[in-house]
Amino acid sequence: MVKITGIEFRNPTILASGIMGTTGASLVRMANSGAGAVVTKSIGPEPKTGHPNPSMVKLDCGFLNAMGLPNPSYADFDNEIKIAKEGADVPVIASIFGGNAEEFVRVAEGLTEAKPDAFELNVSCPHAEGYGATIGTDSCMVEAITAAVCDAVDAPVWVKLTPNVTDIRSIGKAAENGGADAVVAINTLRGMAIDINSGYPILGNRFGGLSGPAVRPVAIKCVYDLYETLEIPVIGVGGVSSWEDAVEMIMAGASAVQIGSAVHEGIEVFGNIATGIEQFLQDNGYAGVEDITGLAHEVI
């Protein structure tokens, strides 16, 4: 059992936003496959179709994607959260986005009736103009948006950060100053792939975000830095696909880990990683995840 921002999780693995989170039914399926909590697809103020395909491509080192925040808007999504809450026996976290504080608040308030266990603010999508990282690279906006949403809702507020900044600590600090209950790091790294047969960038949006094994060392360093700087918990995400990866992320400073691209290899990944972490803790005489959270900071 893990407790973060007042919410109890049966294990420290969480389904990351943007993966299998478009419908209530798929969120329930991920919970049933072992996830300790699930985060929805990012939901915005208006329906959005996203970028043209190809929107995701597997490369040798990871995955490149540019979905473009496709979503049915909060008005059409509250029912999916209700389905997820009814069917899944784990916390359901609503990921939301907007172009400014007012839009974030409108979406958060619009979903409040469905009673998500927490909100995760997407200020980090690297490829949607006017949204995501456009906001998340500006610490003043991150603080203002976080403060506005924290004012508007009672549920805990997590802020998901972009690694595409000079210093992620300053953005994390802005979220904390705005009243965030936790930060989630990292979203994808901006990247691109080109088809050498034609010269066309492969993604419909031309560029997108890199995830998977390639980004894990970047995520580990970001989590390490944020843990050192912030008082609030850090939830680690980026390239975790095994229990060893998860333990490494926790030792860098994560209170829990989110898993995304690794779902490609099988949805059993949550149960497998949770079991592996549990076994590791037991084998090494640790009472819980909190015993090894940030361990890398203590052994110097």
Partner 1 sequence: MRPINAKIIQIIEETPSIRTFRFDTSLNDAQPGQFVMVWLRGVDEVPMGCSFKNGITVQKVGDATSRLFELKEGDSVGLRGPFGKGFTLPAKDENILIIAGGVGVAPLGPLADSAASVGAKVTTILGARTASELVFEQRFSEAGDIHLTTDDGSAGTCGFVTTVLADMDVSAYDRICVCGPEIMMFNVLKMLQKKGAHDRAEFSLHRYFKCAIGVCGACCMDHEGLRVCKDGPVLNGSLLLDSEFGNYKRSSSSQRVKV
Catalytic positions, please? 125
Backbone phi, then psi, for 34, in 5-degree steps? 120, -5
Does residue 69 have a known ligand-binding role? Answer: yes
Whichever of 56 and 174 has its CB closer to partner 1, that residue is: 56
Contact 216, 256 (CB under 8 A): no
Per CB under 8 A, 197 contacts partner 1: yes
Could you tell me the smallest distance in angstroms from the CB atom of residue 239 to partner 1? 14
Residue 176 CB neighbour total at 10 angstroms: 21
Per-residue contact flags (x/-) with partner 1 for residues 246 to 265, judged by CB under 8 A = --------------xx-xx-
Contact 121, 165 (CB under 8 A): no
Whichever of 47 and 217 has its CB closer to partner 1, that residue is: 47
Per CB under 8 A, 27 contacts partner 1: yes
Could you tell me the smallest distance in angstroms from the CB atom of residue 56 to partner 1? 4
Whichever of 56 and 105 has its CB closer to partner 1, that residue is: 56
Cα Rg for the chain, rounded, in angstroms? 18
* Distance from the Cα of residue 240 to its chain's centroid: 12
Residue with tokens 């960038």: 201
Could you tell me the smallest distance in angstroms from the CB atom of residue 64 to partner 1? 10
Contact 142, 171 (CB under 8 A): yes
Piece of 57-65, 104-112, 123-131, 213-221 that binds partner 1 (CB under 8 A): 57-65
Q: Within 13 Å, how many C-alpha atoms sit on residue 117's CB side? A: 21
Per CB under 8 A, 166 contacts partner 1: no
Number of residues in contact with partner 1 under rule CB under 8 A:
44
Cβ burial of 72 (10 Å; 0-12, 13-18, 19+) is middle
Positions in the binding site for partner 1 (CB under 8 A): 18-23, 25-30, 41, 47-50, 52-59, 63, 65, 67, 70-73, 76, 193, 195, 197-198, 200, 202, 204, 260-261, 263-264
